[in-house]
Structure 1
Amino acid sequence: MKQISTRFSMAVHTLSLIDMCPLECTGDFIAASVNTNPVVIRRIMSMLKKAGLIEVRAGVGGAYLLRKPEQITLLDIYRAVHAADENQLFGIHGDSNIACPVGRSIEQVLQQELLDAQHVMEQRLARTTLDQLNEQFAMTSSSIEQ
């Protein structure tokens, strides 16, 4: 069973931290917050940089957003950390038995349904910005502290 990648949530976490505290956002700082290995975060930051979402300060540490948080959508982040060939949320098992009435046509029949579902998900991600999430993080944090 193929598991949906956690890179997306880690990338959102990373970008939110960079927005909230850019001077402290070294790979180690972010990795401690995400509770993962710094190498994983450096890979994610490299993908975000390649996508034009962040710039990393060489030598002094830290990173900063290249666009305002209200201009970065969840779809931008999703696309940044998923290669074009794995941007399909759903996969279809291969090597089905062509002698089976389902096996011989499962891909053809199911493919459009899955593409439509992917499209709906992407439309939803495009409606939410990093800024909107950061506001929710701040509200949730303040209610937990009380």
Structure 2
Amino acid sequence: MSANSRFTVAVHILAWMALAVRDDHHVVTSEQIAASVNTNPVVIRRILGQLRDAGLVTVQRGNGAGWSLAHPAESVSLAQVYDALEPERMFAMHASEPSQRCPVGRGIQSALNAVYGGVEQAVRDELRNTTVADALAESLASS
């Protein structure tokens, strides 16, 4: 099973947009963002659509068309970004009910529910405590 990189790309997009705002470029195109992410602009537009639906970015159509941050980067937590892309729980139980005749099948879901809940809470706490501005600052410090 491969890891999903949409969240990483979304944070990259928002951090890049925050950097553009610092340079007084408040509206940017998916093509400009795609050059930084090194991917196809269609991929960027799909993720921007999800971020727009969550109220994190806005789109301007017509003359001067492009995307802009809906809020200052300091006020957008990575938890908000994650929730925009992954509204479901981080871990899922079996697609079908395990065999109740098996001792592992009967108890595996209750055994994992507590673990999954703790892991999800820890991840959400960390994401809530980090903003897009923090990600941008760390990116710039690392480069």
Q: Which residue of 2 aligns with 1:28?
A: 31
Percent of aligned pairs with the same amino acid: 36
Relative to structure 1, the CA distance from residue 94 to residue 50 in structure 2 (aligned partners, 3 Å threshold; closer, same or farther) is closer
The equivalent residue for 2:53 is 50
CA contact 1:4–1:89 (8 Å) conserved in 2: no
Deviation by residue 1:65-109 (Cα, 9 ceiling, x = unmatched) = 111111001101101111x3x2x1122334433322111221122
- Bigger RCO of structures 1 and 2 (CA < 8 A, at least 6 apart): 2
Alignment deviations for residues 3-61 of structure 1 (CA, whole Å, 9 cap, x no partner): 44211111101111111125473112222322222222111101111111111221323
Asked if structure 1 preserves the Cα contact closer than 8 Å seen for 2:52 and 2:59, the reply is yes
**Residues 52-91 of structure 1 correspond to what in structure 2 (within 5 A)?**
52-59=55-62, 60-82=64-86, 84=87, 86=88, 88-91=89-92
Q: Could you tell me the TM-score, scaled by structure 2's length?
A: 0.85
Q: Which runs of 5+ in 1 are unaligned?
A: 142-146
Aligned AA (2:12): H
Identify which range, 109-118 or 71-80, moves more after superposition.
109-118
Gaps (5+ residues) in structure 2? none
Aligned residue in 1 for 2:6? 7
Structure 2 CA distance for aligned equivalents of residues 75 and 48 of structure 1: 12
**Stretch of structure 1 that moved more, 11-20 or 100-109:** 100-109
TM superposition shift of 1:62: 3.0
- 1:93 aligned residue: 94
Query: Alignment partner of 1:111: what SS?
Result: helix
Letter aligned with residue 31 of structure 1 = A
